[in-house]
Structure 1
């Protein structure tokens, strides 16, 4: 399935060779600044990608900036380079975009309201500059032939196009990983409850959050540095997070009655989400390319602020295994938590003393979710089923054996999140990129009924634990 991801590798190899040879030449003229860059002969054609990688490196125009992926901007000191020189090779940074006033230049370009990207490129001297999904446009080196501000705009357009292509390519693979996990977890923990999972779109909303995190899994360095600025682009430009819920509600509403049951099938929903998300990304990319370069819908809107005039979008290739590991590590916990929340699982804290027969005094058996910490505090994962509290589960042992997650991980993360934010099931990632780190705060967050509270403990003696947690503790959804 990955052959389609290797179409552009050869297109980039020649550019990389030119970059590297030029850097080696220039580094011989002055002290070397590339600590990790080795100047060695490289083949004319790199090996075909696809078997080991989903992504390919973004083509980087030749500049005098470092090619290493660092976490800070290269220097923007232009005292040694006259920016009025149309052939000056200046560092690719958003600051340079601002100093050249390229937002104003694009928005006021003569005839720019009706000039597409391709026509603009031809007008400034770049022939065959054809961007789009499945195409890799290349600005070449400055003054060969495009000069000055026009070249820097084409460089940013090239990086934007490469980013869009990589997002498109990674969608199928990343959603495939999530789909496989979701199907497995639903089968293990809610095999006959898909109607409950789909009711109200809550479960699909949690999966949508994972889909919205896909760019961060693929470009961790980029999103670590630019998350605040690039998140609106991902939301609006690619529609990852919104696309899945859109799919759910629109497919749900339009299906004939004899196909209604398909909306209860997680595999079906995620397959549709993949197709819809890729279609939305392709459409939005096409719209930018075909709209006038001076309009919000066109190049001006896509490049505004100079985010894509940046070497942070270079050398970000990750292998299939790396992407799969990054997604799966976080997705396992998030998906299990989403299913458990939708099926009325919650945590009780301090209900029993740590004097039982299990590890460190927790409840014994491989059919319970029970943990005691070093301070003697027991926390158990339980479920509300038809007004009764269920504490034993035949699939409990799969949490560690199959999904490599411990009860300790779930209960401690949930409690720490609840204590910090003072809210049940708090999600700090609603308007930001979900980190590709399973130990980040609130990655999993089940509601915790704190029975060390005197009012809840007192009520439990009178009405039982479940009712006390619901009526006095005000736990939602149980």
Structure 2
């Protein structure tokens, strides 16, 4: 990966193929149908493409270019930093092969978009994470936060990139984009690696290299593969016309507007997790008092449940984190309930497993989504005799036994 490429890419919009023509001018025999998946299905292009590829003599490489050459388009060269163009219908490529070339062109544009979006993701995270360090993590450590959490943010950006058309904020669009990517390349997991909070630029450069290497390999595999290869072959890539459409240009700002609030909230949660902060939920209190925004009391029948954001000091005392909660409310737009009660709801909804959600490989685009802001939960309660449970020698014993990292 060239550093110059990264720096330059941050300043420009994502370059995609130009909108495709709908007809070839006065030649009405070559008038196209709408460039949609429905057209692909109506014309049974999957069947035609499968039959043609089955009978076509294919080589060990460049089978996409070989296919286009068979229809008079020998200069149809796809790849990263290359934008193959199907041209006008019937000039020279006839139907239905022209629709296939259009879809190949859009697939190529999409993969180039993903390659550039990786840089966009790095840039967005490089803006977000230092701000989080300033606001919440004054003494950051580089061997605490799993790098897989950063990979989820990258995956979210890649999932936002549309197969065709405009960027959508719908959660299904994020999953749909990533589902296709997962069939094309092995998305890195970040297992056994850590996010270096003090060296964000270095960490991001490593992640970018890892992702872009995977994209490059996936693109070359598809260009070379037998057209009917089950994984990576063009027949499966284009199946049901998912790439028959028109791409639209978008910029880093377009993506940033969709993901940055989500990234900020998640990054705050990661910073608090790294400092061993947790929610202490204590039920059955006969009375309850709040000491700043880091504590909240909720009446449940004749008793009270107290919620507190705590961090243990060197003597294992639970210290209220009013400063963190105040900043989350005033600057990041969360409510006291979302900060103190939200993580406990997530904990309960996921079988009381610490730091567990159901998001999969991506994060939701809604910054208010349950489980996005997530720190561990430690439970305690007072029985009718006034005895605290579970029996323990202080917070470290009680909360550590519940899986809270301390």
Question: The TM-score by the shorter chain falls in which range?
Answer: 0.7 to 0.9
Counterpart in the other structure of 2:311 = 383
1:213 CA displacement: 0.8
Counterpart residue number, 2:247:
314
The number of residues matched between the two structures is 383
- Give me the whole-angstrom Cα distance separating, in 2, the residues matched to 1:440 and 1:262: 26
1:110 aligned residue (56, 69, 74): 56
**Counterpart of 1:277?**
211
Q: Could you give the per-residue CA deviations for residues 34-59 of structure 1, whole angstroms, max 9, x where no partner exists?
A: xxxxxxxxxxxxxxxx86x6334554
Structure 1 pair 457–104 and aligned structure 2 pair: CA distance change class (3 A) = farther
Shift of 1:235: 2.8
The 3-state SS of whatever aligns with 1:144 is coil
Question: How is 1:299-378 mapped onto 2 (pairs within 5 angstroms)?
Answer: 299-300=233-234, 303-306=237-240, 308-311=242-245, 314-315=247-248, 317-350=249-282, 356=289, 362-364=290-292, 369-372=294-297, 377-378=305-306
Q: Is the 8 A contact 1:58 1:162 kept in 2?
A: yes
Q: Say whether the 8 Å CA contact 2:86–2:101 is kept in structure 1.
A: yes
Q: Which residue of 2 aligns with 1:20?
A: none
Task: Give the corresponding residue for 1:435.
Answer: 364
Q: Distance in 2 between matches of 1:223 and 1:159?
A: 21
Match of 1:268 in 2: 202
Per-residue CA deviations over 1:129-161 (Å, capped at 9, x if unaligned) read 221121222213332321223212211111111
What is the CA RMSD across the aligned residues, in angstroms? 3.8
Q: Pick closer, same or farther for the CA change 1:236–1:439 going to 2, 3 Å.
A: same
How far off is 1:62 after superposition?
3.7
The correspondence of residues 157-236 of structure 1 with structure 2, limited to 5 A, is 157-198=104-145, 203-219=146-162, 220-221=167-168, 224-225=171-172, 229-236=176-183
TM-score by length of 2: 0.78
Distance in 1 (CA, whole Å) between partners of 2:318 and 2:39 is 58
In 2: Cα distance, 1:394 partner to 1:439 partner: 21
1:451 to 380, 385, 389: 380
Following the alignment from structure 2 to structure 1, what is the Cα–Cα distance between the partners of residues 391 and 212? Answer: 55
Cα distance between partner residues in 2 of 1:238 and 1:94: 27
CA contact (8 A) 2:316 2:396 kept: yes
Cα distance change of structure 1 residues 298 and 263 upon mapping to structure 2, 3 Å threshold: same
Matches within 5 A, 1:76-95: 89=33, 91-93=35-37
Unmatched 5+ stretches in structure 1: 6-49, 65-84, 253-260, 357-361
Q: Is the 8 A contact 1:353 1:378 kept in 2?
A: no
TM normalised by structure 1 equals 0.67
Q: How does 1:4-43 map to 2 (within 5 A)?
A: 4-5=8-9
Residues 278 and 375, structure 2, Cα contact 8 Å, conserved in 1: yes
- Cα distance 1:307–1:411, how it changes in 2: closer, same or farther (>3 A)? farther
Is 1:135 paired with 2:79?
Answer: no
Give the aligned partner of residue 350 of structure 2. 421
Question: Which structure has greater helix proportion?
Answer: 1
Q: Is the 1:121–1:129 contact (alpha carbons within 8 Å) kept by the matching residues of 2?
A: yes
How far does residue 391 in structure 1 lie from its aligned partner after superposition? 1.9
Pair 1:91–1:193, CA change in 2 (3 A):
closer
SS across alignment from 1:451: strand
Query: Is contact 2:22-2:31 (8 Å) kept?
Result: no
Distance 1:309 1:171, change over 3 A: closer
1:76 is matched with which residue?
Answer: none
Q: 1:3 to 1:439 in 2, by over 3 A?
A: same
Describe how 1:40-79 pairs up with structure 2 within 5 A. 54-56=13-15, 58-63=17-22
* Bigger shift: residues 230-239 or 273-282: 230-239
What is the distance in 2 between the residues matched to 1:94 and 1:457?
A: 67
SS in 2 for 1:108: helix
